[in-house]
Copies of this chain bind each other. A is one copy, B any other.
C-alpha cells in the first residue's frame, strides 16, 4: 500500500484530477504486481491507452482522515432494494469477482447481506474495459467503495441475499486491499452443511477457522451468531434490571482457590501468587450479605480443566445471578425460569432474521419452550430414565449421556427443549447447598437444561455461619481456607439462592450448534490461547 506517497487529497464534489486518477491506477497496478497476478504487464500497457473511466476507479491512498469525502452518504447493502433507480455509494467487501470480456460480475458482502455488482463496458456510463479488468483483478475480501445504480433484475439472483436488485457500477475504489493468498475462503467457510450428495463438499476445518478467526467470523452465519449472542446478554440484563436486580462487577483475581483448589489457574501477583476466579459465586453472595438484594453479573470465568470436549472452554462468559428471597427458594427458581422464557421469546421476536441466516448454513431445529417453564423434581427424572431402561441410583448425579437421553424423553413427553430439574440429592451438591427441611438426603438445589445439556446450576445457599461450618466439615473442607467466606454470613444475611449460566452454551444450544467454539468469539481451551 502507498502510505508515504503524497497525493493531492480529493476534494468533496470535485472529480479527482487526471493526475491523481493516473496515480491511483498506477497504485492499483503496483498492488496487483505485488500480489503476483498474471496480466500485470498487459494492464500497464492498457493503462496508457485512452480510458473513458479515467478517475473513476483505482485505489484510495491510505485513509488518514484528511478531510476528503466527509459528507458522502453511503447506503447499507440490506437497504439497497429501497433505492431502485438511484445512484448510491456502497462500502462493502468484494466477496467474489470475475471479469470476462466486457463484463465483470462481482458480489459485494456486508455483514450477512450480499448483492450482485455488474461492471459492464459502456461509453455513455463511462465504464471502460480497463475498469472492468481492474475490478476483476481486485483481491477477494478487499473493501471497496462503489458508486452504482440500483437496477431491478430480470430474474432473481438466487446466490445473493438481495435477489431482485443488482448494482450497475460507475466507480470502483479500493479502500483496503486484501492480500491475494487467503488462508481460507469465506465462500468455503460459509457453505451450508447439507446431506445432499451432489453438493460441493469443500469445507474449512475448525482449526483453520479458529486460526484465521478474522476471516472465519465474516461468514453470514458467524455475523448472525455473535449478534444473537449480544442479544442473549442484552436480554438477560434488561429482564433482570426490570425485575429490580443490580448489576455488579466481581474480581477475577482472588487470593485463594475458593472452590476446592482443583481446576484453578495460578497468577503471579507481584511477589506472591493469586488465582483466577472459577465463578463469581462468593462475591455475589457477599453482595447479597451487603444488602444489594438481587444482583447479576456478566463476566469472564476461568476453569483450568483439561477437558477437550464440544462443550468445555477454559475461559467463558458467565451470566450469574443471586437473589435474596423472603420464605422459599422457589421465588428465585421462578424468577430464573421466567428470565429464560423471556430470553427465548425475545430472541424469537427480535432475532428472527439472524436465526434464519444461521439456519442457512447449519441445520437449526427451532427451540421449543413452555411458559411457565416445565419444572420436574429429580426423582421424576430418575423414574423417566428407569422406565427407559437406564440404571440410575436415587442419590447419584446424572451422567452426561443420561442428561441427553432425559432431554429427548422430556421433549417427546412435554414438547419443550427447556426445563428445570429441582431437588437434587444433597450428596452430589457442594457444601454450601441448603438441605431440604423435610428430607436430609435432598437439597434445595436445581439445574436447568437446554436440549438435554446443563446450562445452569444453582441452589439455595446456606446463609447461617454455624450451619455452613458444620456442612463444610462434613465435606472434609479445611475451615481455615474458607474462614472469610463463612465470616461474611456472620453479620446478618438474608436467605438467598442463585445460579450461574454459561453464556456460550445457551447460544450453542438455542441454535442447536454442535460445538461451543462456534459461539465463542476467540475460544480458549487447553490447546488454544490464540489468536
Contact check, B269 vs A247: say whether CB atoms are below 8 A apart: no
Contact check, A265 vs B268: say whether CB atoms are below 8 A apart: yes
A38 close to chain B: CB less than 8 A: no
Contacts of A495 in B (CB 8 A): 63, 65, 175-176
> What is the CB-to-nearest-CB distance from A309 to chain B, in angstroms, rounded to a whole number?
16
A317 close to chain B: CB less than 8 A: yes
A447-465 contacts to B (CB < 8 Å)? 460, 463-465
> What is the CB-to-nearest-CB distance from A8 to chain B, in angstroms, rounded to a whole number?
12
Contacts of A274 in B (CB 8 A): 529
> What is the CB-to-nearest-CB distance from A481 to chain B, in angstroms, rounded to a whole number?
13
Contacts of A249 in B (CB 8 A): 229, 300, 317, 503, 520-521
A254 close to chain B: CB less than 8 A: yes
A56 close to chain B: CB less than 8 A: no
> Interface on A for B, CB 8 Å cutoff?
1, 3, 9, 62-70, 72, 74, 91, 93, 110-111, 139, 141-143, 175-179, 182, 213-218, 222-223, 226-227, 229-230, 233-234, 237, 241, 246-255, 265-270, 274, 276, 283, 286-287, 289-293, 298-300, 302, 304, 306, 314-315, 317, 326-330, 434-438, 444, 460, 463-467, 470, 484, 488-495, 503, 520-522, 524, 526, 529-531
Contact check, B176 vs A255: say whether CB atoms are below 8 A apart: no
Contact check, A143 vs B246: say whether CB atoms are below 8 A apart: no
Contact check, A290 vs B246: say whether CB atoms are below 8 A apart: no
Given A74-B326, A327-B63, A529-B255, also A217-B290 (CB < 8 A)? yes
A276 to B275, CA, bound (A): 12
A232 nearest CB neighbor, chain B only: B247
Contacts of A3 in B (CB 8 A): 464, 466-467, 470
Contact check, A248 vs B521: say whether CB atoms are below 8 A apart: yes
* Contact with A276, one of B218, B267, B306 (Cβ below 8 angstroms): B267
Contact check, B292 vs A226: say whether CB atoms are below 8 A apart: yes
Contacts of A179 in B (CB 8 A): 490-491
Can you list 16 pairs linking A and B with CB atoms under 8 Å apart? Answer: A1-B466, A64-B437, A67-B328, A143-B492, A176-B494, A178-B492, A182-B491, A223-B292, A226-B246, A229-B247, A249-B503, A249-B520, A251-B521, A265-B268, A265-B269, A286-B531
Contact check, B241 vs A234: say whether CB atoms are below 8 A apart: yes
Contacts of A182 in B (CB 8 A): 491
A490 to B111, CA, bound (A): 19
Contact check, A69 vs B326: say whether CB atoms are below 8 A apart: yes
A217 nearest CB neighbor, chain B only: B290
A512 to B246, CA, bound (A): 22
Given A70-B328, A230-B246, also A434-B64 (CB < 8 A)? yes
Contacts of A520 in B (CB 8 A): 249
The 4 A-B pairs at the shortest CB distance, nearest first, are namely A217-B290, A178-B492, A64-B437, A3-B467
A444 to B266, CA, bound (A): 39
A149 to B214, CA, bound (A): 64
Contact check, A1 vs B464: say whether CB atoms are below 8 A apart: yes
* Contact with A492, one of B69, B141, B330, B529 (Cβ below 8 angstroms): B141
Given A70-B327, A253-B314, also A444-B246 (CB < 8 A)? no
Contact check, A250 vs B522: say whether CB atoms are below 8 A apart: yes
Contact check, A247 vs B265: say whether CB atoms are below 8 A apart: no
* Contact with A490, one of B178, B234, B300 (Cβ below 8 angstroms): B178
Contact check, B488 vs A64: say whether CB atoms are below 8 A apart: no
Contacts of A143 in B (CB 8 A): 492-494
Contact check, A327 vs B64: say whether CB atoms are below 8 A apart: no
Contact check, A253 vs B299: say whether CB atoms are below 8 A apart: no
